Amino acid sequence: MFSLFSSQKTRSPADMMRSPMVLMYFLLIMSEGLAVSNRPRRSVSFQDMNLKQFKESGFSSLSSLMIRDDIGQLVVGARGKVLILSLDDITEKTSEANWTVSSADKALCQMKGKHTKECDNFIRTLHTMEDGKMLVCGTNAFNPECDYMTFTNGSVSLEGNKHVGRGKVPYDPDQRFASLMNENTLYSAASSNFLSTELVFQKHGLNPLKTEMTRSWFNEPTMISVSLAEASKNSEDGEDDKVFLFFTETAVEEHHDNIQVSRIARVCKSDLGGERTLQRKWTSFLKARLDCPFGGAGLSPLVQDAFLLQDPNNWRDSTFYATFTANSESSGACSQSAVCAYKLSDISQVFNGRFLAEMDTGSWETYTGEEPFPHPGSCINNELRAKGVMSSLDLSDKALLFVKSHPLMDGVVTPIAGKPLLVRTGIRFSKIVVDQVTSLDGRRHQVMLIGTDSGWLQKAVRFDGEDGRVIEELQLFQTPQPVNFLQLSFRTGQLYSGVNNIAVQVNVRDCSRYTSCDDCLLARDPYCGWDKFRAQCASVVGALLGSMIQSLTDGDIQMCPITELKNKPAVVYLIPGLVQFLPCSPETNLPISWHLSESILLTGPRHTVLSQGLIIRPTDSDSGIYTCETVETVKGKVHRKTVVQYFVEVQDTNTLFRTMRVAVITLADLACLLMLLICSALVIRHLKAKRQNHIGCGNQNNNNNNNNNQMIIVKPFCHYDQSLDRHMEEGLVHCDQAGEQSVEAGNVISILVLPECPVAKAAEEELEADNDNRCTFIETTG
C-alpha cells in the first residue's frame, strides 16, 4: 500500500486524487465565506422559473409599463412604438402603434451633439385618462412630444394630436423622472430644458403650477416617485388631497458639500398659486428629510422608490413603503439595502412642525420667530374655510413669502418603529410594489415585492414582533439587469416587469415550489396554504373555508399529516486520511446541520460543515450513518427536516482497490455474457430464415442429403473455450476448393461466436482456417 504522504516518486491513486480534490474543497470553503448571512429562504433561478416572456424583432429599449385592468391589457412603451399585450398572457400581442422620429428631428438632434442612439423617440410616459384614452409622451429626439391614444375593438391608434411635452417627460431618455395622472391632471417631476439643468415639479392643465427655481427648493435633485393620498375621502374635516414627491438632492443644510440626502415633499391638490406672490407657483410646497437608519456611520441611505398602500377608511393610516440603498462610495463598505415604512400621520406631523431658516452666514438653523397664519404650507380644510381662507388665492403675502423662503422642515420623517422593515447586505434594491393579502384567519398581511439591480425579485414579509424576511427570491432575467419597472395587477395577481427587449410576467401567488406540507407552512407565505384534499400547497385566494390549513403566526406543522423519509441511506466508501466531500443540496437556503449517528458534527480537524455539504477527512472510527438536515427556527421553536442520509464505511486503500478490481472484472464478465447471448439470438434467427436452403463451401447444394438437412457455413474463429477442444474435434471439418462437405442443420442447436474477453482465450495453434480456401464447421448433436 502506498503512503498518502510518501516521498517516493511513485504515487498511489489516492495521491493522484488528492491535488484536484483539495483545490475543489478550498474553493468551496472560500465561497462559503463569501455567502451573505441574511439569505432568502429560497432562491429560484431563471431556468426554474415558470414565467412568461414577450420579445420580438424590432422591440427594444423598453421604457415604460402601464397596467389596464379595465380592458385586461398591458401597455408597453419602447423605442418608437407602443405595444398592447394581454394581461393574462403577455406572449399574446393584441396590437401596436408606431411613433418614430422624423429624419429632420433626428438630424437636428445629432447636430446638437447627441448620439444617434439617443436621437429616437423613447415612450416614457403612459397614463390613462378618465374617458379611457391614454396620454403618451416620448423624448422625440430630445424634443419631447405628447399625444393621445385610443384602444377600440382590440386595436390601438394614436390620434395624431401632438402637443409639447416639455416638463412632462425628460429630454434625455436615461434621466430619472416621476409623474402621476389624477382626474385628467398630470403631475410631473422632470427636467424642462435641453441640458437637463432645470428640474421642476409641476402640475399641468388649466391651472398649471410649478416649483421655484431656487436652490432652497431643489438643489440638484433626482426625482424618484409621485403619489396621491386621497385625504378628502371619508374626511369629516373637509381635508384636501395631498400629492407627495420622493427625491434625493444635495443637502443645503449640511456644513459639508455634496452630501446626498433623501427627501419627501408635499403639495396640496387644490393649490391654485398665489394672488400676487408665488403666482403660478406652488404655495404649499414643503419638504423634509427622509430617514431610514441602517448601514452604520458614514453611510447615507438614498431612496430608490416608494409605494403608497392606501387605507380605505382613514388616509392617515395609509403607509408609504420605500426602498433605500446605502451610499457606500465614500466609506468603501459593502453595499446594503433596506425597506422602510412611513405612516402618513407621522409625515403630516413633521409638515405641521417647525421650519429651518437660512442664516446670513449660510448655515441653516431652526426658525424661532413668529409664524404667519395659517401654518405655512397648510392645505385648505373646513377650519380654514370657516376663517375665510377658501383657497390659496386668499393667503396673505406674508404667509406666501414665508413659504417661499422656508420650504425645508426642521423635523425628520422617521420610519415606523424607528427602524427598517427589512435590511439586506450585498444587494441593491430598486423598485417596490406592496400587495395586501387576506389570510385564512381573516387577517391582512403586506407582501413586499422588491426588484434589485441584478434582475431578481425579492418576496418579503414582516409579521408583528419579528424582523422582515425574504420568503423567496426569483430571477426575472437570464442575465443580470436592473429591475426598473414593476407593476402588479391586483385583479389577476400577476406581476409585470421588463428590460430592454424583454417583458416578463410572473405569478406571485404560485405556491407549487413548496413541495410538502411542512415546507408550505414553515415558509409562512401569506399567499399559500396546504390543500388537505388535493395534498398540495396552493393559493389561498378564493379557497373554500375548511379546505386549507395555514399557520402564518408560528408555522405550526403539527397540523400536517405525518410523513416518513422515503429514500434509504446511500452507501459510501471512504478512504482514511483522504479529504472527501458528502454533498447536501436542500431545496431552500436554510442552514444545515450534520449528525453522525446521534452526535452533532461541528467543524473541527476532521470535519468542515458547509452550506453545500460536508468535507470529511475520515479515520477508521468515522464509519456510520451521516444525516444532513435543514434547521429552521420559528418563534423560538426549532424545526429539522432530513435532506439526505449516507451510510459511510471507511476502508483502507488496498481493500478498496481490491473491491474495485473485483467489481470491474465482474462487470466485464457480465458484458461478455451479454454479448454471447446477443450473438446466439442473431444466429438462431439466421438459421430459421435459411432453413430451406443448402449452403456449401462452394455455394452448391448437396443433392445426396436424403434428410433434406441444410448446410451451414461457419466462418473461422480464433477464440473459444479450450475445455471444449476434444468434444469439438470430431465435428471440425476442413474443406478446400476440390471438395465439399456439409453439416446437417437439423442437428444444430446453436453456434456461439465468442468475442475476445477475459473468460475466452485464444487457441491459435488449433482451428486455423484460410478465409479464402476453406471453412470451419461445428456440429453439435442434440
For 468-527, the pLDDT digits (tens) are: 999 999 999 999 999 999 999 988 889 999 999 999 999 999 999 999 999 999 999 999
Q: Answer yes or no: is pLDDT of 33 > 70.
A: no
Phi and psi angles of residue 386, each rounded to the nearest 5 degrees, phi first:
-65, -25
> What is the predicted pLDDT for the residue at 565?
58
| Predicted pLDDT at 356 | 96
Mean local confidence (pLDDT), 194-221: 95
Q: Which three three-digit cell numbers place residue 654?
A: 488496498
Share of the chain above pLDDT 90, in %: 62
For 358, half-sphere exposure in the C-beta direction (CA atoms, 13 angstrom radius) is: 16
Question: What is the reported pLDDT for 748?
Answer: 34
The pLDDT of residue 298 is 67
pLDDT at 597: 83
Cell of 340: 422602510
Query: What integer is the mean pLDDT of 105-131?
Result: 95
* Helices within 714-753 (DSSP H only): 725-728
75 Cβ contact list (under 8 Å, min separation 6): 65, 66, 67, 68, 82, 83, 84, 126, 134
- As a whole number, mean pLDDT of residues 380-392 equals 93
Q: Spell 558-574 as b/e; 16+ CB within 10 A means b.
A: eebeeeeeeeeeeeeeb
Which segment of 6-10, 369-373, 399-403, 419-423 scores lowest on mean pLDDT? Answer: 6-10
| Domain annotation for the chain: domains and CATH numbers | 52-174 (2.130.10.10), 211-426 (2.130.10.10), 509-559 (3.30.1680.10), 567-651 (2.60.40.10), 669-777 (no CATH)
Contact 149, 139 (CB under 8 A): no
Which of 19-23, 36-40, 740-744 shows the highest mean pLDDT?
Answer: 36-40
pLDDT at 691: 54
What residues are paired with 64 via a beta bridge? 77
Question: ∠ CA 102-105-107 to the nearest 5 degrees?
Answer: 105
- What cell numbers appear for 705 in the block? 442429403
Coil/strand/helix, residue 278: coil
Identify the pLDDT of residue 341: 97
Of the candidates 487, 488, 424, the one whose C-alpha atom is nearest the C-alpha of residue 460 is 424
Distance CA 384, CA 238 (A): 10
- Alpha helices in 469-558, H assignment, sequence order: 517-523
Grid cell in block for residue 239: 381635508
**For 540-672, where are the E strands, in sequence order?**
548-549, 570-574, 580-583, 592-596, 599-601, 607-609, 613-616, 624-634, 637-650
- Checking if the pLDDT of 296 tops 60, the result is yes
List all residues 6 or more positions away from 575 whose beta carbon is below 8 Å from its beta carbon.
14, 618, 650, 651, 652, 653, 656
Q: Does position 20 have pLDDT exceeding 50, yes or no?
A: no
* CA 508 to chain centroid: 11
Region for 7 from its dihedrals, namely left if φ exceeds 0, alpha if ψ lies in -120 to 50, beta otherwise: alpha
Question: Band of the pLDDT at 644, cuts 50, 70, 90?
Answer: very high
* Burial class for 328, CB neighbours closer than 10 Å (0-12, 13-18, 19+): middle
Q: Is the preceding omega at residue 144 within 30 degrees of 0, hence cis?
A: no
> What phi-psi label fits residue 196: left (phi over 0), alpha (psi between -120 and 50 degrees) or beta?
left
Query: 158: exposed, middle or buried (C-beta count within 10 Å: 0-12, 13-18, 19+)?
Result: middle
Distance from C-alpha of 318 to C-alpha of 331, rounded to nearest angstrom: 35
What's residue 687's pLDDT?
A: 72
Report pLDDT for 42. Answer: 95
The predicted structure's pLDDT at residue 703: 42
When pLDDT is averaged across residues 47-73 and rounded to a whole number, the result is: 95
Residue 604 has pLDDT above 60, yes or no: yes
Q: Are strands 163-164 and 145-152 parallel, antiparallel or unpaired?
A: antiparallel
Rounded to 5 degrees, φ, ψ at 734 are -110, 145
Q: Is the pLDDT of residue 412 over 90?
A: yes
Q: How does strand 123-128 pair with strand 592-596?
A: unpaired
Whose CA is closest to 304, among 467, 451, 167? Answer: 451
> What is the arithmetic mean of pLDDT over 121-130?
97
Given pLDDT bands bounded at 50, 70 and 90, which one contains residue 611? confident
Least confident piece of the model among 48-62, 611-625, 760-774: 760-774
Contact by Cβ (8 Å): 73, 84: yes
Label residue 780 by pLDDT band (50, 70, 90).
Answer: very low
- Ranges 138-147, 291-300, 568-577, 654-663, most confident: 138-147
Q: What is the pLDDT of residue 262?
A: 97
Please state, in angstroms and rounded to a whole number, the distance separating the CA atoms of residues 434 and 422: 13
- Our CA dihedral for 607, 632, 529, 532, rounded to 10 degrees, sits at 70
Q: Which one is predicted more confidently, 760 or 437?
A: 437
pLDDT of residue 22: 44
Assess whether pLDDT exceeds 80 at residue 688: no
Does 708 score more than 80 pLDDT? no
Q: If we measure between CA atoms, which residue out of 329, 328, 348, 326 comes closest to residue 337?
A: 326
For residue range 536-563, list pLDDT tens digits in order. Answer: 999 998 888 788 999 998 899 989 987 7
Residue 722 has pLDDT above 90, yes or no: no
Task: Enter the pTM of the model.
Answer: 0.79
pLDDT at 208: 96
Cβ count within 10 A of residue 523: 23
> What pLDDT score was predicted for residue 171?
96
What is the residue-averaged pLDDT of the chain? 83
What is the DSSP-derived secondary structure letter of residue 370? P
Cβ count near 246 (within 10 Å): 23
How far is the C-alpha of 50 from the C-alpha of 726, rounded, in Å? 70
- Assess whether pLDDT exceeds 80 at residue 396: yes
| Among 107, 98, 110, residue whose Cα is nearest residue 138 | 98
Residue 596 or 760, more confident: 596
The better pLDDT of the pair 71, 25 is held by 71
Tell which wins on pLDDT, 258 or 276. 276
Candidate ranges 10-14, 105-109, 651-655, 777-781; pick with highest mean pLDDT: 105-109
Residue with cell 449517528: 597
pLDDT given at position 727: 40
Instruction: State the amino acid at position 79 in one-letter form.
Output: R
pLDDT at 633 over 60: yes
Mean pLDDT of 733-758: 36
Most confident of 111-125, 595-609, 723-737: 111-125
What mean pLDDT is predicted for residues 589-612?
88
